[in-house]
Structure 1
Amino acid sequence: MNLSTLLQWLKKPRAPTPSPPARSATVDPAANAGAHGLTRQDIHDAIAAHLAWRTQFNDWLSQDEPADPASLPGPERCGLGLWLAQAAVHRSPGQHLALAGLAREHQRLHACAAQALQHARAGRMGQASTMLNRDFERHHRRVMQLLHSLAAR
Structure 2
Amino acid sequence: MNQARMIELIDVAVAGHMERHLLLQKAIERGRRGPEPENVADPKICRLGKWLYGSEIDEATRRSEAFTVVNRLHNNFHDCAGRIMDLARDFKPEQATALLHGEYKTHSDKLVRALLLWKQELLMAERKKRVA
Scaled by the length of structure 1, what TM-score is found? 0.63
Encode CA deviations 1:53-99: one digit per residue, 9 max, x unaligned.
Answer: 44433333332535241343621111110121248723755971111
Aligned counterparts of 2:26 and 2:97: Cα–Cα separation in 1: 15
**Bigger helix share:** 2
Distance in 1 between residues matched to 2:12 and 2:41, nearest whole Å: 18
Report matched runs for 1:1-153 at 5 Å. 33-34=1-2, 39-63=6-30, 65-67=32-34, 68-72=36-40, 74-86=42-54, 89-90=57-58, 96-153=64-121
Q: Which runs of 5 or more structure 2 residues have no equivalent in the other structure? A: 122-132
Q: What is the RMSD of the two structures over their aligned residues, measured on CA atoms?
A: 2.9
Q: Percent identity?
A: 20
3-state SS of paired residue (1:89): coil
Distance change (3 Å), C-alpha of 1:48 and 1:125: closer
In the alignment, the residues of structure 1 paired with residue 55 and residue 6 of structure 2 have an alpha-carbon distance, to the nearest angstrom, of 10
> What amino acid sits opposite 1:132 in the alignment?
L
TM-score by length of 2: 0.71
